Amino acid sequence: MHEMGIASSVLDAVRTEAQLHPGLRVLKVGLRIGELAGVDPESLRFCFEALVKDTPLDPLPLEIEFCPRRQRCHTCGCTFDVADYDTNCAFCGLSPTECVGGTELELSYLELEES
Ligand SMILES: [Zn+2]
């Protein structure tokens, strides 16, 4: 399962970060997932919970921020969210536009607390 590998790298990143802050406990993890990243947020959450279970980090809530696909218009320079796969500019209606968002797959934050 694709999501299991991702969940495992997220957890590795969390552990690495936690080691940099001895004496602090990780309370919560924030993750940004783009619409085009090809990741199912619910499966990822499920895998993450399964990996965290029965470890010293348990329970560790995963907060997922979903990032919609965004395009930038070459003609007028505006950026807009894509609805219904329509990549024409939402403002001037002219193509071409380029993809500038929606491929995110990254940690956005870690919430830490003194243990
Ligand atoms: Zn435009």
Residue-wise pLDDT tens digits, 33-46: 999 999 999 999 99
Q: What is the dihedral of CA 17, 21, 22, 28, to 10 degrees?
A: -60
CB count in 10 Å sphere of residue 37: 18
How far away, in angstroms, is 80 Cα from ligand 1 center?
9
How far away, in angstroms, is 65 Cα from ligand 1 center?
27
Neighbours of ion ligand 1 (CB under 5 A): 73, 75-76, 89, 91-92
How far away, in angstroms, is 99 Cα from ligand 1 center?
13
Read off the pLDDT of residues 58-115 as tens digits, 9 standing for 90 and up: 999 999 999 999 999 999 999 999 988 899 998 999 879 999 999 999 999 999 999 7
Sequence-separated (6 or more) residues with CB below 8 Å from residue 101: 34, 67, 68, 69, 70, 79
How far away, in angstroms, is 3 Cα from ligand 1 center?
36
List the alpha helices (DSSP H) in the chain: 2-19, 41-52
Report d(CA 78, CA 5) in Å as an integer. 36
pTM (2 d.p.): 0.83
> Six-digit token pair at 22?
């001895």
